[in-house]
Structure 1
């Protein structure tokens, strides 16, 4: 599959790389890291990053302005996106050939080529393998910085169970490049005063249930009170992950037209539950969306059942 993907990249003059809406460091890191590696190996190609900009991640890179005409006869690569509904910028449909590269469970097998590896810690880790330079070789500096950020983001600084020997292997190769890892960590984990105060609210209001599930409600009123956006609030989803006895936890984050469900676990597989509520993701980290607080009660009931029946 990797050879087939590289062959397709070599055949096209223009490559446009997409990722999912509401991006995280792995989405941006794999997308932009792939761009840097393509240009490193194929300097004459024209490579663009598609999608809405995300201000909180602009320390990694900014998206490109792309004319509609560029999509004609272009190779489209979508990184870190499990289903077509979450692809940022639906002009991906205008391309000549579509490749999916992702590490989420393959619920939506879209694309002319479909490379999914659920054993990978991140899509950034997969991009490293796509352009493996061989022993003793290094990646370009900027590509290394971006891919390292993606791996760090999706492994929670190498703390999550998806961190493997393979993950450390690629991190070790990337860290040899000329970039400041300390500055990168500072940018990734810098916290604003409003967000820190919201985290204090979350720690005081979290509901711990008998099942081992924990629940937090962040209404629009609360977000407005603390001056934090729903996207920024995602940065504290692991605020109480070390709580004794916790099995899984959910943040309900209200937006004008939807309630975002941010779901995490320390054991029970929760991606199938997310899938029943217009979502999906990893067994230990998933997301979903609901429309009413009554639906939130049903979700909590289902999460209680998942946690109650789980045995380590």
Structure 2
């Protein structure tokens, strides 16, 4: 059964089996794992229980519409509904309203547990993705929640994206087992990988801009500030800037990196995506209205001074990490 606690999966199954209406949420500004696990779980439940109402709640994201669309969900739909939240560490990041108005609330996540919510919680930080968790749940339940071609496609996409095509640290033996199991089903894996690599010509030109304007500090922090003017100049959306998040990871002399994107509105706000090859950066993110994984987190800066603070704190984390490595090797 790997790392999945069978007693918790049995509790989840009982809730699904006894509920006529199930609403599945995920986090705001979703990535492929959020969409893949949400819609993948929906497909699994619909296949096993075609008589049940199963809804995917949240805003539709243009860039990931090829994976699937969200449903229209009203406040009345939550009456006597089982609500499942996937891939969301804390309640402020849940996309969609009224999630707490159902009869039961379940949390399925792979982020470090920072917000204790839900009547039932299946939290596995060792998992590469929630798509991996949903896959292993299906493996365990077997004929009680069997895998389908449509669900396999969605869950495979979530795993591939959250592991960076199986190269990130969170990729484990269980990740490969889950992916191998999914590949037994009929879907176009090439199409999924190709989708993640495709970009517009404007995005390609923006990549060149990023390499030209990245700054690398003496403490091995690479940072980039993307303004609203930059987005307009290159005709790209904030969502499309996701493609440049890890460009700095290929540069020599970079241990951690952060990309800031200026938000809309009169008030100063920068959305920061923090990444690392070693130092834990999730505590830094949590101090700046964010959170996430030790090596991949999100934060917010509400002034240029706070933006500078985040870069400085990442530099300090790098110095501590390198010092500890030296001591281990001494």
TM-score tier after normalising by the smaller chain length: over 0.9
Give the 5 Å matches for 1:88-99: 88-99=95-106
Aligned partner of residue 303 in structure 1, secondary structure: helix
**Contact map agreement 2:63 2:239 (CA 8 A) in 1:** no
Higher mean alpha-carbon deviation, 70-79 vs 187-196, is at: 187-196
**Contact map agreement 1:138 1:177 (CA 8 A) in 2:** no
Check if 1:259 corresponds to 2:249: no
Give CA-to-partner distance per residue, 1:104-162, whole Å, 9 cap, x none.
00000111111110000000001012221578997200000000000001000111111
Give the 5 Å matches for 1:174-253: 174-253=182-261
Check if 1:291 corresponds to 2:302: yes
Higher mean alpha-carbon deviation, 148-157 vs 231-240, is at: 231-240
Unaligned runs of 5+ in 1: none
What's the offset of the Cα at 1:294? 1.5
What's the offset of the Cα at 1:40? 2.2
Higher mean alpha-carbon deviation, 65-74 vs 46-55, is at: 65-74
- Once residues 91 and 50 of structure 2 are traced to their aligned partners in structure 1, the CA distance between those partners, rounded to angstroms, is 30
- Equivalent in the alignment of 1:301: 312
**Contact map agreement 2:25 2:57 (CA 8 A) in 1:** yes
TM-score with structure 2 length normalisation? 0.92
Check if 1:50 corresponds to 2:61: no
**Contact map agreement 1:138 1:174 (CA 8 A) in 2:** no
Pick one of 157, 161, 166 that aligns with 2:165. 157
Give the 5 Å matches for 1:133-152: 139-152=147-160
Deviating above 4 A after TM superposition, structure 1's stretches of 4 or more consecutive aligned residues are 133-138
- Once residues 240 and 317 of structure 2 are traced to their aligned partners in structure 1, the CA distance between those partners, rounded to angstroms, is 28
Would you say how many aligned residue pairs link Structure 1 and Structure 2? 312
Check if 1:4 corresponds to 2:15: no
Pick one of 248, 261, 272 that aligns with 2:283. 272
Aligned partner of residue 17 in structure 1, secondary structure: strand
What's the offset of the Cα at 1:299? 1.1
Pick one of 72, 77, 83 that aligns with 1:65. 72
- Once residues 114 and 306 of structure 1 are traced to their aligned partners in structure 2, the CA distance between those partners, rounded to angstroms, is 31
Aligned partner of residue 289 in structure 1, secondary structure: strand
What's the offset of the Cα at 1:67? 2.9
Aligned partner of residue 286 in structure 1, secondary structure: strand
- Once residues 72 and 175 of structure 1 are traced to their aligned partners in structure 2, the CA distance between those partners, rounded to angstroms, is 38
